[in-house]
Amino acid sequence: MTVEVTRHGDVAVLTFTDGGVNLYSLDLHAEFDTALDALEADLPRALVVRAEGKLVSGGVDVAQFHARTTKADTQALYDRMLELPDRFAALDVPTIFAAHALTLTWALEVALACDVLLATPKAKFGLVERVIGLTPTMGGTQRFASRAGVARAKEFVFTGDLYDAATLERWNVVNRVIEDDDFDAAVLRFAEHLAVGPTKAFGAAKQILRHFESGGVAEANTHTTAIAAELFDTQDLQDGMVSFLTDGPGQATFHGR
């Protein structure tokens, strides 16, 4: 199993694989932590998360659940698992998850923690924990609901069915279905478009939306002006205003500072 990060200019691409069906394990999670530590120490201006192999993921190694002998140990495992999508959600740069094929359980929960979910037409998705009598433990239920609504989240989790990318695009879970012979190249182009934007302003938008998710418009409004005011010290805002006044809209070059 490997988790590797490559750099393409201002875009970082995190690729995971276990050489098989990309099952979640604690060892794989530890490799994600190492990669995320390095990314946090040297943030790119956009991050793509993708899998290598025929599947994005076939799910979780159920043996690690069955090996737990107490309720407390079981919760400790679930607490550990939840840390992974939460780390992606906490990044203050645009994050894009690329789903090229079947994406089950933990991988979908990571995808839902990313800002944008892009998929090929052949991708399918499921939170299938019902097959072992479990409910999703890595935030998938609530993050699905934040995109598609509570009723759709109930349907998705209760049925445990596989849903295609077109359906989930219609439900606002998948942002875009990309029909392109070179999906990876198309995803990279999308990421590069975000990476040349005002990165600090995107991070501010993510902070505001976190407040919205936790407390709605009223809570977000409480924090919006202070978050936006912090951008006063950024080079991108100062240069962007000068460019707008001098050259008109859409001419500014941003540097992520």
Instruction: Tell whether 254 is covered by a domain.
Output: no
Domain boundary residue, one of 180, 195, 210: 195
The secondary structure of residue 1, as a DSSP letter, is: -
Give the integer Cα–Cα distance in Å for 206 and 209: 5
Structural domain includes residue 57: yes
**Residue 175 pLDDT more than 80?**
yes
Residue-wise pLDDT for 101-111, tens only, equals 999 999 999 99
State whether 104 and 125 are in the same domain: yes
Q: Determine, yes or no, domain membership for 137.
A: yes
What is the tally of structural domains in the chain? 2
pLDDT at residue 65, as a whole number? 79
**In sequence order, what E strands does 56-215 have?**
95-99, 103-104, 116-119, 124-126, 163-164, 176-177
Distance CA 23, CA 32 (A): 13
221 and 150, same structural domain? no
73 & 145 share domain = yes
**Four-CA torsion 213, 215, 218, 222, nearest 10 degrees:** -90
* pLDDT of 1 above 80: no
Single pTM value for the model:
0.94
Residue 255 lies in a domain: no
List 50's β-bridge partners, or say none.
15
Cβ contacts of 160 within 8 Å, gap of 6 or more? 126, 127, 128, 129, 130, 131
Backbone φ, ψ for residue 53 (5° rounding):
130, 175
In a domain, 110, yes or no: yes
216 and 148 within one domain: no
174 falls within a domain: yes
CATH of the domain at 157: 3.90.226.10
Average pLDDT for 174-183:
94
Q: Are residues 162 and 224 in the same domain?
A: no
Note whether 91 and 137 are same-domain residues: yes
* Mean pLDDT (the chain, rounded): 95
In a domain, 211, yes or no: yes
- pLDDT digits over 99-144, tens only? 999 999 999 999 999 999 999 999 999 999 999 999 999 999 999 9
Which two tokens mark 46?
A: 């956009």
Cα–Cα dist 229/223, whole Å:
10
Residues 153 and 225 in one domain: no
Residues 155 and 214 grouped into a single domain: no
What is the model's pLDDT at position 20? 87
Burial 6-24 (b: 16+ CB within 10 A, else e): eeeebbbbbbbbbeebbbb
Percent of the chain with pLDDT over 70: 100
- Other beta carbons within 10 angstroms of residue 2's beta carbon come to 12
Which residue range is the domain that position 206 belongs to?
199-247
Are 177 and 226 part of one and the same domain? no
Condensed to tens digits (0 to 9), the pLDDT of residues 43-94 reads 999 999 999 999 999 999 888 877 888 999 989 999 999 999 999 999 999 9
Q: Mean pLDDT over residues 27-55, rounded?
A: 96
Same domain, 69 and 168: yes
106 and 74 in a single domain? The answer is: yes
Please classify residue 87 by burial: count the beta carbons closer than 10 Å to its beta carbon, then call 0-12 exposed, 13-18 middle and 19+ buried. Answer: middle
Same domain, 135 and 218: no
